[in-house]
Structure 1
């Protein structure tokens, strides 16, 4: 379960569904002692959304845990059906004892009473070691309902050769970013775009991140009491930047025509890999994907450009989480495995296998992560005081859907930033908040 572009399809004007997973590969499972366990051991089920190489990494950790003690047997089941996951958690008798999802869902699920609070179960776990922006998503009304195993941040990834040929330095400010886009974008006869200076694997995540980079906030200033703030001035400035820099300047129809033929994200035909886009805002998985799918690409990575110096180091964080459903019959045993899975050793092993960032800040300087080419840019970004995250409040899923639709209208040029965010603000009046 990996968040690409925080798993979105390519497209500057495409509608993105926030924070959905790219689930690929084959299912895996482990049942070392049968569904009932043996020898007095308690068998618990770990139903996870990951598949393929991600599932294989988990199965190794499960095997190691089972061999490390004689009280618990973990049965791993790869089941990438999020609807079935939610249905099981909402029933009187659940089918699993521990699972995974995204930080954006924690608040809504906790409000529904389908997550077990973890504060007592994990009272000897050092949650202060987890990235603060990630832990903000793990809590609802003062209680902890999940822990992060992986986190993800956005940075500006660029084509070194294209920037050098255009005489452009990696931009540090939003003004420099706008100037760079103008120099790097190429337009042919008839106004057709042949190269776009700034593309986006996810319009949703590009624009929410730019909102933070302009000093905006999407959920108010108090993480403990979040509220939708779509019309905050920094957010409007970010949307205006996108329209002025891309949509209005080159034409929404021309942009749509250009992106229509782009190849699959993170395949060898990916538009950034293929030279159709000079810069993107994307996550740490690119450090591994580029080595695999675009070995000859000369690329670099730098911080997200910001509107003013005080915002330096701004980035958006998302998290892959672990939780125990409220209907688990073996919460204490599940908590024991959760502690192991979110511990330093297992977290290191899992995230190295995926090319993701560890959720523990104590692992950010680990030599194993530093050895991945250019990975340090994303690791170091987590140390910034300006790491932001969208709230995981009960309203977050509907808010993300409404923002995505509004962003699409801005990118298509069918609404001004003020109109689009005003509509979201009006819809937000009906959001569930408890």
Structure 2
């Protein structure tokens, strides 16, 4: 593969040379940070993109708990609120990256390939209990048998349905994709649509592959295949023929939680983030959640996850691991996810907090074991951009779906080839 990736474009050898000169990537440096000896304090830097006030408070509490248990380690936390990955890449290239940082599964394959993320296998001890993580979420941060990050939280997708609207229409909660399409038609009336849909690959990847197709194959776009087109054609038909599906922007709102909260759609497919949003913004809406409808008798959903990872050039690797392992360990994760704004990636923590039995979050937790994580090779950003641009044209009725996706696939693979 031709290489013009962001790191290579600035010279891998330059980065390695800088690391050697500074001594920051050597084994001796990683073992000499005094994190365990207690003879001096070590400051570990942590970077993330922040969150809502409740999440920020929970993270602050988790970090305070860590420092109370590790008197010789201080944590300096930095919020990068805009252009997070661009800022992070620039800092990593310049040798000024944080010791520990957030990494989205979507971005993970490409960043791991550059060599700037530290493999963690040699740091893990038996009491860390790697088997406790939901397997699909952990797999998203593993390459060739090496683990480069441990997922801190996640969300799957679930079906959100308006209880009153379904009851008034005499509709049962749909369990299959055919039932879902029929329910959407029946629920569409009086200015309310059956389904508020987000016409983008990140939300429909699970459906696109439901007939055995591969959206990505050999790290190239493959979404023009008949299997993928056939899987997605019902979305086009629901919008253009049945008129039972609508994009939120078409009714003057921005996303699925809002169209559902305003009761302009009886059903949406959303993640855990919609639960606190609806509670705070639309507390009067009586709704339920369910696992996504099965397609061809098979359960499927998406999962979106973020891991804590370690900078391969860190000079404080022992202390960095102490922090990373606490944040993704059972105690730290329980504090961080205790309010339900984020779901714990450890099965034992989800059970202890009762999320697996929670009326609203239970279906989201149930999906974690079989979810497809939003992470597929190093070229997924290119593939996604081209898919979204052309899929929308078919969704709006401007051209046939097969034609739109064929053009998008050709363009995506041309861009990949020219990298």
Q: Matches of 1:104 and 1:68 in 2, distance apart?
A: 33
Q: Matches of 1:204 and 1:87 in 2, distance apart?
A: 28
Alpha carbons of structure 1 residues 232 and 127: separation in structure 2 relative to 1, 3 Å: farther
Write the deviation string for residues 177-223 of structure 1: whole angstroms up to 9, x where unpaired: 11111111126xxxxxx221101356333322322444443235xxx
The answer as to whether partners of 1:135 and 1:147 remain within 8 angstroms in 2 is: yes
Q: Does 1:407 align with 2:394?
A: no
Question: Post-superposition shift, 1:49?
Answer: 1.0
Aligned to 2:155: 152
Q: Secondary structure at the match of 1:288?
A: helix
Write the deviation string for residues 105-139 of structure 1: whole angstroms up to 9, x where unpaired: 11100112221222223354433322221122102
Q: Does 1:170 align with 2:173?
A: yes
Question: TM-score scaled to structure 1, two decimals?
Answer: 0.79
Aligned to 2:49: 49
Write the deviation string for residues 300-319 of structure 1: whole angstroms up to 9, x where unpaired: 1112112212x1x3111110
Aligned to 1:86: 89
Alpha carbons of structure 1 residues 300 and 251: separation in structure 2 relative to 1, 3 Å: closer
Structure 1: give runs of 5+ residues left out of the alignment.
1-37, 188-193
Match of 1:237 among 230, 235, 239: 230
Paired residues in the alignment total 377
Q: Secondary structure at the match of 1:75?
A: strand
Write the deviation string for residues 131-183 of structure 1: whole angstroms up to 9, x where unpaired: 22112210234322221010110011110111111111111111111111111
Aligned to 1:250: 243
Q: Matches of 1:419 and 1:351 in 2, distance apart?
A: 44
Alpha carbons of structure 1 residues 361 and 370: separation in structure 2 relative to 1, 3 Å: closer
Q: Matches of 2:309 and 2:353 in 1, distance apart?
A: 29
Q: Matches of 2:121 and 2:408 in 1, distance apart?
A: 35
Alpha carbons of structure 1 residues 123 and 236: separation in structure 2 relative to 1, 3 Å: farther
Q: Matches of 2:417 and 2:123 in 1, distance apart?
A: 28
The answer as to whether partners of 1:146 and 1:323 remain within 8 angstroms in 2 is: yes
Q: Matches of 2:244 and 2:54 in 1, distance apart?
A: 41
Q: Matches of 1:246 and 1:260 in 2, distance apart?
A: 11
Alpha carbons of structure 1 residues 330 and 387: separation in structure 2 relative to 1, 3 Å: same
| C-alpha RMSD over aligned residues | 2.7
Matches within 5 A, 1:196-215: 196-201=193-198, 203-215=200-212
Q: Matches of 1:249 and 1:95 in 2, distance apart?
A: 51
Structure 2: give runs of 5+ residues left out of the alignment.
1-37
Write the deviation string for residues 43-76 of structure 1: whole angstroms up to 9, x where unpaired: 1111111133222211111111111023321112
Question: Post-superposition shift, 1:261?
Answer: 4.4
The answer as to whether partners of 1:50 and 1:78 remain within 8 angstroms in 2 is: yes
Match of 2:275 among 270, 283, 287: 287
Please identify runs of 4+ aligned residues in structure 1 that moved more than 6 A. none
Aligned to 2:249: 259
Question: Post-superposition shift, 1:97?
Answer: 0.6
Q: Secondary structure at the match of 1:426?
A: helix
Matches within 5 A, 1:120-131: 120-122=122-124, 124=126, 125-131=128-134
Aligned to 1:350: 336
Q: Matches of 2:359 and 2:341 in 1, distance apart?
A: 11
